[in-house]
């Protein structure tokens, strides 16, 4: 394991708030940052010494970018496979191309998780109307149709209830390759935010409990209130996923908590191969923030402590015009306000967050 020295350059694919917060954490230890993103005025550009504004399929720009940095990481899982391939030949890509290939396709992800013996919601691959009818007969109603690719914050999803027209649901998703997931009567949604170092060290933060509003994360509370056995299952699932991917960096595993006669247990819902919104509380709530931890991992540094700084924390997203409350939050004792420097507060847009440490 070689530690990248301070003064090295970290390349980040993606210029949103996650890239911005990784860049801020990297600057604290004297790393240089080079952001690659296609959007003009990306929030991360402003806190980085260099940026490249180019499309993710611009082979020349990618080659130049990879040649100018010491390691490349990403803030989103939809990095095209070809982009990852172009970079991998020129600079270390951490986490790797395999993590991208698996997590950007819901079917591959579900098969991967199930293949590790980790429970998930029941699912079927859907490529046609015939598939969906067969699957509904097997899984029952209600069920959730999800596109295999490019879904986030509830986009690319449709609930199919008994009596609904499955063809309409498929058409609503543009007949994209999809999966059908059986209904899971979960009691809570939780996530494991964890890091795996280059030497295989695995450290997970306290479990996060996540509440959504309009399919977008609203509030994360830490520590999540779950049974010790559910907690063990969740941590074990995250550990096995990270190990199987030979993962380097921070990842998040979202899980459902379900209750049966045997008590609480968990099902893996989704893997995010990156820092995650449900880990934002770690900036003040943990000894090492998820952003600093990600930088440590991808630079080959030993991982930092994931201990809580208090007894817990809550993180509330500021979505769209929630951000208008900034002045009230700035005056609230104990509230840590974070804003991402986005110029326009569109509905559903993540503008910032507030952390309150208990």
Residue 90: helix, strand or coil by DSSP? coil
Site string for a second copy, 12-51 (x = CB under 8 A): --------x--xx--xxxxxxx-----------xxxxx--
Q: Which residue from 271, 25, 2, 246 is spatially nearest to 10, judged by alpha carbons?
A: 25
Question: What is the footprint of a second copy within residues 242-301 (CB under 8 A)?
Answer: 287, 296, 301
DSSP 96-143: -HHHHHHHTSHHHHHHHHHHTT--B--EEEESSHHHHHHHHHHH-SSE
**Cβ proximity to a second copy, 20 vs 106, nearer residue:** 20
**Shortest Å, Cβ 45 to a second copy:** 7
Residue 97 has φ and ψ, to the nearest 5°, of -65, -30
Stretch that binds a second copy, among 97-105, 126-134, 255-263, 328-336 (CB under 8 A): 328-336
Q: How many CA atoms lie within 13 A of 331 on its CB side?
A: 3
CB of 352 to a second copy, least distance (A): 7
- Contacting a second copy (CB under 8 A), which of 124, 280, 338, 350? 338
Q: Which residues are annotated as a binding site for ATP?
A: 106, 146, 151-157, 181-184, 189, 212, 269-270
CA separation for the pair 79, 56 (Å, rounded):
7
Give me the least distance between CB of 42 and a second copy, in Å please.
11
In the list 323, 350, 355, 356, the residue contacting a second copy (rule: CB under 8 A) is 323
Distance CA 139, CA 290 (A): 37
Q: With binding defined as CB under 8 A, does residue 1 bind a second copy?
A: no
Cis status, amide bond into 219, omega within 30 of 0: no
Q: Does 327 bind a second copy (CB under 8 A)?
A: yes
DSSP code at position 323? G
- The gap between the terminal CA atoms of the chain, to the nearest Å, is 37
Least distance (Å) from a second copy to the CB of residue 167?
Answer: 45
Cβ at position 246, least distance to a second copy in Å: 22
Tell me: does residue 6 bind a second copy (CB under 8 A). Answer: yes
Can you tell me the distance from the alpha carbon of 181 to that of 258, in angstroms, rounded to the nearest whole number?
15
- Smallest distance from the beta carbon of 16 to a second copy, in angstroms? 13
Distance of alpha carbon 220 from its chain centroid, rounded? 14
What is the number of residues in the chain?
Answer: 358
Least distance CB 82 / a second copy (angstroms): 30
> What are the backbone dihedrals phi and psi of residue 232, each rounded to the nearest 5 degrees, phi first?
-60, -45
Considering only 340, 350, 355, 356, the residue that binds a second copy (CB under 8 A) is: 340
Q: With b meaning 16 or more CB within 10 Å and e meaning fewer, what string describes 53-68?
A: bbebebeebbeebbeb
Instruction: Give 193 or 337: the residue with its C-beta nearer to a second copy.
Output: 337
- 94: tokens are 């951490």
Could you tell me how many residues of this chain bind a second copy (CB under 8 A)?
Answer: 40
**Residues 183-202 interacting with a second copy (rule: CB under 8 A):** none
Report the b/e string of 156-165 with b at 16+ CB within 10 A. bbbebeeebe
| Nearer of residues 202 and 301 to a second copy, judged by Cβ | 301
| Tokens coding 268 | 């893996």
326 binds a second copy (CB under 8 A): yes
Residues that bind a second copy (CB under 8 A): 3, 5-7, 20, 23-24, 27-33, 45-49, 287, 296, 301-302, 305, 309, 323, 326-327, 330-331, 333-334, 337-343, 352
């Amino acid at each position: 394991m070689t530690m990248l020295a301070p003064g090295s350059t970290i390349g980040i694919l993606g210029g949103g708030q996650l890239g911005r917060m990784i860049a801020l954490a990297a600057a604290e230890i004297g790393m240089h940052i080079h952001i690659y993103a296609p959007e003009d005025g990306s929030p991360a550009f402003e806190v980085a010494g260099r940026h490249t504004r180019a499309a993710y399929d611009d082979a020349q720009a990618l080659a130049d970018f990879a040649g100018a940095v010491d390691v490349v990481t990403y803030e989103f899982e939809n990095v095209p496979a070809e982009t990852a391939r172009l970079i991998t030949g020129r600079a270390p890509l951490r986490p790797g191309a395999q993590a991208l290939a698996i997590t950007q396709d819901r079917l591959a992800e579900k098969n991967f998780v199930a293949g590790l013996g980790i429970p998930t919601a029941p699912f079927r691959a859907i490529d046609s109307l015939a598939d969906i009818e067969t699957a509904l007969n097997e899984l029952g109603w209600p069920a959730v149709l999800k596109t295999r690719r490019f879904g986030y914050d509830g986009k690319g999803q449709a609930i199919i209830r008994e009596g609904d027209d499955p063809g309409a649901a498929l058409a609503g998703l543009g007949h994209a390759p999809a999966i059908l997931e059986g209904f899971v009567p979960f009691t809570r949604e939780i996530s494991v935010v964890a890091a795996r170092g280059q030497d295989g060290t695995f450290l997970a933060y306290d479990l996060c409990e996540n509440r959504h509003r309009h399919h977008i994360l609203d509030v994360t509370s830490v520590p999540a209130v779950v049974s010790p056995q559910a907690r063990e299952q969740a941590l074990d699932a995250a550990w096995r996923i990270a190990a199987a991917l030979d993962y380097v960096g921070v990842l998040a595993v979202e899980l459902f908590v379900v209750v049966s006669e045997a008590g609480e247990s968990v099902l893996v819902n989704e893997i995010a191969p990156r820092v995650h919104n449900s880990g934002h509380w770690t900036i003040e709530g943990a000894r090492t923030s998820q952003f600093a931890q990600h930088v440590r991992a991808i630079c080959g540094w030993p991982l930092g402590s994931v201990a809580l700084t208090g007894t817990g924390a809550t993180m509330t997203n500021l979505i769209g015009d929630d951000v208008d409350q900034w002045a009230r939050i700035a005056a609230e004792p104990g509230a840590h306000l974070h804003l991402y420097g986005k110029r326009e507060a569109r509905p559903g847009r993540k503008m910032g967050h507030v952390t309150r440490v208990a």
